[in-house]
Each structure stands twice: as structure tokens, then as C-alpha cells.
Structure 1
């Protein structure tokens, strides 16, 4: 719980500050990335953001589908659940910016109340698990931090997409404060609840056989059913349906922002009517979600780690450009006159170099089932052969060390 608290408290600063770019520049996040990543470099990160949006949509939809299948007592398949969640998301997302905000404004309330019910039903079963000590425990904490970081930092690539219509005079501290508050409260509370329940159902020493069996059989949906249904009966199933609203709320953001990112990848893509993209995106992530429906937890963990790696590089480059080379002054962007001018934005050589060296740092620091880097292995030591993941820390550090001198030379010899 302490790892959850402190990692989120530090990480949420990044998307909260990135959100301030929206009112000040009037640009979506991937468009404003042109001022640090360059015209062509922004295409690369926009493409990566599209991949991330598809990934999040797939994982969220799997969670919703599993929940619906358990509610229906196995009378519908995971595939049917995926299609149901995806179609609801598509229908709401295509209504546009205004209605996305309206849905997000109210949908959190029943979701929050439902999580309170989950806590009430689970409370008597929760146990206190003593924390381990030593190098093995320390390396596990570092790996866990990487997962938490990957979840919270996922908002840095789209934070300003949803406040660009606010007045330019909006104080940056207000944008920062509201975004930070809106992130930190649900992130910490829900992750605390999830960690507490998983200690009982899937920890090193699970203490509730019914929860453990339900989780092994149906993962997240099964676990929710095991917590709620025995305690409150059919009302528990109703609560599970309400929780699907949170899946829809998250997926609407992914679908909408991916449509915006696509327009940065190519000028010709921007000419395609925006209503087309939600349909295309939905058609892409439905089969992916169906294929991954049997491995939700592992897919989620691996995806959040990979997300944390590249977004660590992305946000490092953007913030170094902003604070070091533009003095933290939004007026030095001249966004109104230059946002769509290739000849007035950086070439992107420095950002590309930072990306490559950041990827090297990732490879050296990561500790995944499918690959353990040299430094990641050292962190784990003999006590933990699986290593300790410090991939996102090294990704950001390597990228920053290279970007500063490279950007200085780029500005000196190229002039922009």
C-alpha cells in the first residue's frame, strides 16, 4: 500500500503538468509534441500512442467481458461480452467531445459507490500480510513500482486532449491541481482495494479458497463475483454491471484520443472524417480482446510495463524541452502561428537520439519473464533470479542525458 501511495503520488505529477499544455497552447497532446519531438518525431510517438490506445481498449474490454460473463452465469461467452462493451463504447464515443465530457462527468459516481460496496463485502476477509525484507523483496518492490508507474503515466500522451477548449487565461496551477486530484484519489484508493483483495485470493499464501478458485477460473470477473454475489446476492450482480460503466468510460477516452493521434501521423489521414476512426479502432481492438480474454492479468502487467518504458522517454523529452530550452514559458511556443508548420518546429534529431538511448536504458534495466537486462539482473541478485525491473527509470535517465546536449547542438547548427 505504501508503494502504491508513493509511486502514484510522484507519477501523477507528470500527466497533471502535461494537462496544462491544453489551455495554454490550444493543442492536443500529440500535436504539441511537435515542439519537442519534431514534425516527423511526433509521427512516431503518435503512432505509439495509437498502439497504446488499442492496447488499453483491449485490456479494459477483457475486464468488462469477463465481468459480464460471470454476471450471466456463463450463458454468454467472452467474445460476446467483448462485442457488447465495444459497441456501447463506440456508440457513446461517436457522439463527440461534448457528450464524452457529459458521460465522464457522471459515470464515475455509480462506479465509486460500487467500489464502496466491494470494500464492504470484502472487508471481513482481508488479512494483513507481513512485508518481506532483503534484496529479493527490494527488487520485487521495484518491479511493482514499474507496473504502477506504467498505469499512471499512461495519461501523459493524452492529458491535454480534454481541456483544449478552456480559455488560454486559465491558471496553469488550477489545471494541474484538478488533474492531479482527479488522478491520485481513484488511482490510490482502487489500487489499494485491488491489492488487498488479491493478497487474499492470489498472494503467496491465499487465505480464501473460494476467491482463489474464482480468480483462477475467471480472473477479474470471477473474483468480483466471488466477493459480491455470496454477500449481497443479485444486487452484487447489479454492481458488477455498474462496474462495466468504468470500462466504457476509459475506453471512450482511448477511442477518441486515438482518432486525434492518427491525424498527427499523416496529413492525408487528417482528411479522413473523424467519425470513421472510432469504427476502425473498434474493429481493430475487438479481435485482440477476444484473443487475449483468457490471459487478462498477465496481459495487463506486461502491457503496463511496456507502456511505462516508452512514455518515460516521451515525457522526459517534452519536459526537458519545455523547462530547459523554453524556460517553462508557453509564450515561447508561438503555437497559433507555428503549430502546423514543419519549417517552424524542431527537426527532431535530438529527440530521435534520446529515444534510441532511452530504448537502450530500457533493455538494460528491464526484468520481464521474456527478457531480463544486465542491470535488471544485478538488481535482483542471487536472491531473486527474476531480477528487479528499473526499465522506466533508466529509459528516462538515458533519454535525458542524451537529449540535453543533442538538442543544444540541434538548435545551434540547425536553428530550430
Structure 2
């Protein structure tokens, strides 16, 4: 069978970070790419995010949905751009990053990405375990987490990609059933979409601050996929239509997050659900949803972890995406100073960019995050001017700082070192 065959049978990716040569690629992604993104984003972790707009940021149901949609779209554009680089380069996202950050700068971004993805994975497992515990309180949380980790991994298919896709589909079937059950039960309890409207801040700076802070969270929920977006497409042929990758990825990320987010926002318009949220945060609401099945649960730990991961995602996503985008369209474009990607040097520190421009621009962008952030534990000086609780402009400031600083710094870097 050979070593690669054994790895594939064990559902382990046989290839490392090496670039996939054109001769080994295929062009079979069609609706499957849409379903892949759709399945991994039908997640219970988005329901609490939908609740936050009204219960924490005092937005009405309508303003919650509008803010959610607008910032999700911005985050999705970040994801789809990175996704289109997979077929073009045949490389994974973090390897592409080396062409702007250099070998060691790319390693720093990779480390941040690992921590973010690890945190998200932990949240997903804990939340799934909590759901199982809600259904059956006799089941310990640790047992529920173990079941989530191992239940579907007996599947063995010929390629790792197919395994990933089938595992995503199967693992989310219980989620889908739970969503429809929750919608049905909440519908019979009675939605009141105007319930939060009297509590909304008046138009102006206060409402803008609420929308900006909530929007930053929703941006993180979609843009968090950007650091891995090219990985799913690096086996596609370079002539795969960009528009095809663009729209399948865009709707595959946007629609499920938006749907589940609206569900969360709608749940807290039900009077008894809203009261349950006030008594026990998202735990109280989900407990209501599972009451007909019996059970309870405590999601506070999950929500705290989700908040931390969301902030890390924004810190990584906002300036990193801007820098990779400018590198691609300004310096790597046909006719640009570098004229494209030299695929032979992806693993050669001496031939890759030094990375000083990207690292300096990133560090200054972090300063932009600090002065623009509005968190419970810290409100930046700029954010504090928007309202008494601040309006979070962290990722917007970081993106602007990176967009302005990186091009001149990168120009000087290329003129000095030629790479």
C-alpha cells in the first residue's frame, strides 16, 4: 500500500506544507465546496452571538439583523479573497503568508493562527458536550465531549478531503435537527420582535457605539476562517474560475452564520426566553429550548472562551488580511515590483522576503487595536469618545493602519534587499 496509502487510510493528510504541483491537482469542487463551508458553519456557537445584539448591546431585533449582515459580509470578503489564492498558488494559507511576512514572520502568524483555531476547536467540543449533557443530565460533560470527538471518526474514505467533507456533514446533522426543533418550540411560545425596541439607545453616537461593538464580534465570526481558507482549495487546478471559488465560499460562509445568528436573535424576542437569558445568559435560553427533552446546562465557560477567541481572531485577521492583500495586488501583480510569486522559494528563508515591513506594520496596527477597542476590561481613548461604554473600532483602526503603512515600508524593503 505504501506510506502515503497508510496515512490516507488512517485519515491523516499525507502531504505537508509542500506546494501541490499542477500535475497532482484536480478540478472537481463544485457544489461540494459550498456544502463544505455550509456544514462547518452550522454551529451552535453562533446562537449566543445572535443573542448579544439585543441582550448586551441593547439593539432592536431589526438593527441586530442589519448590523449582523453588514459586518458578516465584510468578514466574508476577507475569507473569499484568501480562498481564491489556493488554486492560484497551490499553497496553504500560512505558506502564502511567507511572501509578505518572510519565513520567521510567517511563523509568528502561524503560531497565532494555531492558538486561534485550537481555541475555536475546544469551544466546539465543549459546547457539543454541553448539548449532550442538556439532553441527558446523567451524562457527564467530559463524556459528552469525548463522544463529540470520537463518534464519527470511524468513517474511512479514500481521500482526506472526502473524509473532511463527510465528517463535517455528519457531525452537523444533530445541530440541524436541534435548530429546527428550537425554531418550532420558540414559534409556539410566541415571538415578539418589538420586545427590545423600547430599550434601544437613541439614534446617534450611543446607537453607533452599540452597532460597532456588536459588529466587531460578527466580523470575527466570519473572518476567522480566512487563515485557513486557501487550504481547502490548494488542490484545485490554477485555471479554476475565480468567480466560482468566490461565490461558493462567500455564500457557504455567510448563509449558515447569518441563519443561526438570526435564530439566536429571534429566540430572545420570546418573553420567557428573554427572561431566561437574564437569569442565566445563553445557558438559560438553551435550557428552555431543550426543556421538552429534559436537562439543563451552564454555558458561561463556553461564552467566556468564545469572547477570547473572537478577540484573537480580530487581532490576527484585520491587519494580516490587509497586508497579504496589498502584497498580492500591489507588489506581486503582473507588472508590479516583484511580478508574481516565485513558487520555488516558499521554504527558503534566504530567498523569501525579510518580512520587516509586514512585522513593523503589524506591530503598529496592534497599537491601533488598543486605542480603538472597547472591552469590559479596557476602553481605548478613541473608542471612549463614542459613548460612555465606548464603541469598538479596534479591527477598523488596525486595518487602516496596516493599509497605510505597509506599502511604503514594503517598497523600501524591496529597494534595499530586492525581495
**TM-score, normalized by length of structure 2?**
0.75
The answer to whether the 8 Å contact 1:350/1:403 transfers is: yes
Moved more, 142-151 or 392-401: 392-401
Inter-CA distance 110–295: structure 2 relative to 1 (3 Å threshold): closer
Partner of 2:392: 389
Partner of 1:295: 301
Superposed, which structure 2 residues align to 1:13-412 within 5 Å? 13-72=77-136, 74-88=137-151, 96-105=160-169, 108=172, 111-123=175-187, 124-128=189-193, 129-130=196-197, 131-133=200-202, 134-200=204-270, 207-208=271-272, 212-213=275-276, 216-217=279-280, 220=282, 223-230=285-292, 233=293, 294-327=300-333, 332-380=339-387, 384=388, 386-412=389-415
Deviation of 1:45 (Å)? 0.4
| Distance in 1 separating the partners of 2:70 and 2:149 | 34
Q: Secondary structure at the match of 2:225?
A: helix
| Distance in 1 separating the partners of 2:356 and 2:252 | 35
| Distance in 2 separating the partners of 1:336 and 1:187 | 35
| Distance in 2 separating the partners of 1:221 and 1:99 | 33
| Distance in 2 separating the partners of 1:93 and 1:327 | 42
| Distance in 2 separating the partners of 1:328 and 1:180 | 26
Deviation of 1:37 (Å)? 1.2
The answer to whether the 8 Å contact 1:62/1:293 transfers is: no
The answer to whether the 8 Å contact 1:322/1:328 transfers is: no
What per-residue deviation string (whole Å, max 9, x for no partner) do you get for residues 303-342 of structure 1?
2133212210110110011111122799944453222222
| Distance in 2 separating the partners of 1:379 and 1:403 | 28
| Distance in 2 separating the partners of 1:341 and 1:167 | 24
The answer to whether the 8 Å contact 2:103/2:352 transfers is: yes
Inter-CA distance 39–91: structure 2 relative to 1 (3 Å threshold): farther
Inter-CA distance 154–340: structure 2 relative to 1 (3 Å threshold): same
Q: Secondary structure at the match of 2:350?
A: helix
Inter-CA distance 215–298: structure 2 relative to 1 (3 Å threshold): farther
Gaps of 5+ in 2: 1-64
Q: Secondary structure at the match of 1:70?
A: helix
The answer to whether the 8 Å contact 2:333/2:340 transfers is: no
Deviation of 1:215 (Å)? 7.7
| Distance in 1 separating the partners of 2:106 and 2:155 | 28
| Distance in 2 separating the partners of 1:372 and 1:159 | 32
Deviation of 1:92 (Å)? 6.6
What per-residue deviation string (whole Å, max 9, x for no partner) do you get for residues 81-135 of structure 1?
2333234477679983331123235655664454233222212432223243232
What per-residue deviation string (whole Å, max 9, x for no partner) do you get for residues 246-282 of structure 1?
xxxxxxxxxxxxxxxxxxxxxxxxxxxxxxxxxxxxx
| Distance in 2 separating the partners of 1:113 and 1:398 | 44
| Distance in 2 separating the partners of 1:370 and 1:85 | 33
Partner of 2:5: none
Note the aligned Cα RMSD (angstroms): 2.8
The answer to whether the 8 Å contact 1:354/1:402 transfers is: yes
Number of aligned residues: 346
Partner of 1:12: 76
The answer to whether the 8 Å contact 2:75/2:220 transfers is: no
What per-residue deviation string (whole Å, max 9, x for no partner) do you get for residues 212-267 of structure 1?
447845x556533412443xx58xx9xx9xxxxxxxxxxxxxxxxxxxxxxxxxxx
| Distance in 2 separating the partners of 1:93 and 1:36 | 38
| Distance in 1 separating the partners of 2:127 and 2:156 | 19
Gaps of 5+ in 1: 201-206, 241-291
What per-residue deviation string (whole Å, max 9, x for no partner) do you get for residues 170-193 of structure 1?
011111111001011111111111
The answer to whether the 8 Å contact 2:97/2:324 transfers is: yes
**TM-score, normalized by length of structure 1?**
0.76
Deviation of 1:403 (Å)? 0.7
